[in-house]
Amino acid sequence: MASQQNPLDEEENSKRNWSLKDFEIGKPLGRGKFGRVYVAREIKNKYVVALKVIFKEQIEKYKIHHQLRREMEIQSNLHHPNILRLYGWFHDADRVFLILEYAHNGELYKELRKKGYLSEKQAATYILSLTKALAYCHEKTVIHRDIKPENLLLDHQGRLKIADFGWSVQSSSKRRTMCGTLDYLAPEMVENKAHDYAVDNWTLGILCYEFLYGVPPFEAESQIDTFRRIRNVDLSFPSTPSISSDAKNLISRLLVKDSSRRLSLEKIIEHPWIIKNANPMGICL
């Protein structure tokens, strides 16, 4: 099925001075620490989008001006089928509005919680889509640093979209900021060492495990225990559900403490488990 031409992608629209009067606001899609997301329709072209509303009071309170500006700059310049588009933004006295691509099927997190775990075919398709999107990001010197099920959305065909670039950074040098979500942090971040693109490769291993087993591999009762398990790469595979040795091999080759020895994104795409299970079109419902 040919994808619908998006009028918001056109050059004239990307340079428009948007305002709230350009949109009909629909139901809320979700809420976060800094604001809310609504489904909305652009009045002129009838095109459905997601409108992320961030309150300026929260931006001030949490000092996220720089982070928000960086997120907007990075995401608006990324054009990939597995990355949620940011079409533009505008603001009024109290709020900043981001005009985002609408992902009809919502968070992958919700699907994972509903099902408990995913089939190997579904998991491999999502990992392949993520790997391709991250390869594209890394080519553009963007490290995501916060890939997790809550930041992954599904469109009407079940195609995966990376949605949140709040912790992303554009840099070809090593970074030292500890950021992201605890269960998904690489050992070098836990140990406050310099890190690079390989933190995203580590997260692919964490996600692959979580897709197949329903929980992240280093989950523990306390934060200190989780840190310890990550530092020691305390990895084990439960006997249920029954998972193929190829899947375990891929996970084990990504969850490696020495970041230079983690499986590269190119090698993930060529891995037997991916070749055997993933839908190369990325469609998975």
Residues acting as catalytic residues: 146
The number of C-alpha atoms within 13 Å of 102 and in the hemisphere containing its C-beta is: 21
**Measured between alpha carbons, how far is 269 from 280 in angstroms, rounded to an integer?**
10
The helix/strand/coil state of 213 is helix
Residue showing tokens 């403490």: 257
Residue 128 Cα to chain centre, angstroms: 13
- Residue 153: what residue type? L
Kindly report the CA angle at 28 between 18 and 20, in degrees rounded to 5?
A: 15
Give the strand pairing for 152-154 and 160-162: antiparallel
Cis-peptide, bond into residue 241, ω within 30° of zero: yes
Name every residue whose Cβ is closer than 8 Å to that of residue 195 and which is 6 or more positions away in sequence.
143, 174, 175, 176, 186, 188, 189, 259
